[in-house]
Structure 1
């Protein structure tokens, strides 16, 4: 992750290899040669939408960048922070906040897919071949453009833009939102701040963090 206190918004750090990478809930992130491992910083400004909604910015930027690299690929976003290639995980996003700054980290399986117990994973190769150094400018450009849009757009409309790239409303899913705590229902969209709306037993649960498994 990018942690230099002198780094500014718009700066990017990419790595060819990580020895202590991590994903959600502190899980290890496997480093495979040729994959993209990169981070950038967002300065939270007065008047910005709520900072957790930056996950929507990251997801939209990521899917649009991958579409440039692999036109026609069957891509979709899965709440809260995964990019799917068909039914397999292609990339993940991790946000960490410190004071008025948010570090946004991306891991994209460009060349190879790590093995994750209980999860399908995929790599962009051989569907498309692109080096991490070439992918970074694509992602950086889309992230900057979408970040600027997020700062001026209506939050509800921005959430709808994310939903247009996600699995459809009514998709059956399960959410692990605490160790040993599993709830199941159907996808009912997201709130303007990016929280998940889970429909179950005729009610709507608002979930702000957790791991989702599509069923």
Structure 2
């Protein structure tokens, strides 16, 4: 696979674009596996993906003009817990959306990796690990809202925002680079507060289906230091959710 174009911004790194690929995440994982190690701050961005995916193996069909890209974070000694990078990526995405839209009314972060606008999914994040490398894949519906089984979706265009893929890519690259540098410096507690400021409100009723298939319902009570979602259960207990599908039941 040869890149179609490489754009470079001195503050944000490089954007390598390809016309079509199975999955930008899969390609970066393959590069890591063969020792072709990507640099932090560099992005692989596709015009089309034929095998894009989300969490839990869900298919994420592409839409030409949408943002579909991946980058990496390399884990270092003393870094915060690796799972918190999903939340850091969410902060970068929503900041980039506000950059290109002025202010995106109704946009919130949903734990652990979605951006919603009035309940509909606008963007998703998928992290995959290989050794000390975390590949961060991000999809944002700029012009089209792909069909996702069991999910309502929305695009920026349908909300009245005309944003080009490359404009968003450079905005996201800058925000991710800034957030990742803060994370490496140990500023996760501050990023955690930023995530909470963008997220569904505390007390929002959430339904969680854990990996074993069990269901839990409770009010959102914040985040643990390692980025797990805290639920306040009906019996007064608090439970940390480290993995599982979460649905917003009500605020």
User: Shorter-chain TM-score: which interval?
Assistant: over 0.9
Matches within 5 A, 1:140-179: 140-179=173-212
Distance in 1, matches of 2:74 and 2:213, equals 35
Q: Deviations over 1:57-98 (max 9, x none)?
A: 100000000111112212110001000112211000000111
How far apart are residue 123 of structure 1 and its match?
0.3
Distance in 1, matches of 2:45 and 2:236, equals 45
* Residue in 2 that maps onto 1:211: 245
* Residue in 2 that maps onto 1:8: 39
Residues 1:130 and 2:163 are matched in the alignment:
yes
- 8 A Cα contact 2:182 2:188, kept in partner: no
CA 1:68–1:158 in 2, change beyond 3 Å: closer, same or farther?
closer
* Residue in 1 that maps onto 2:134: 102
* Residue in 1 that maps onto 2:19: none
Residues 1:112 and 2:144 are matched in the alignment:
yes
What SS is found at the alignment partner of 2:147?
A: coil
Distance in 1, matches of 2:199 and 2:122, equals 14
* Residue in 2 that maps onto 1:19: 50
Residues 1:43 and 2:74 are matched in the alignment:
yes
Q: Deviations over 1:98-117 (max 9, x none)?
A: 10100000000001111223
Q: Deviations over 1:161-198 (max 9, x none)?
A: 21011011000010111253211111001112111101
What SS is found at the alignment partner of 1:56?
A: helix
Which structure would you say has the larger RCO, counting Cα contacts within 8 Å and 6 or more residues apart? 1
Cα RMSD after superposing both structures = 1.3
How far apart are residue 154 of structure 1 and its match?
4.3
- Structure 1 window deviating more from structure 2 (140-149 vs 65-74): it is 65-74
CA 1:99–1:169 in 2, change beyond 3 Å: closer, same or farther?
same
Residues 1:192 and 2:225 are matched in the alignment:
yes
* TM-score between both structures, scaled by the size of structure 2: 0.82
How far apart are residue 153 of structure 1 and its match?
4.1
Q: Which structure's CA Rg is the greater one?
A: 2
* Residue in 2 that maps onto 1:81: 113
Q: Number of aligned pairs?
A: 215
Distance in 1, matches of 2:177 and 2:189, equals 20
- 8 A Cα contact 1:159 1:191, kept in partner: no
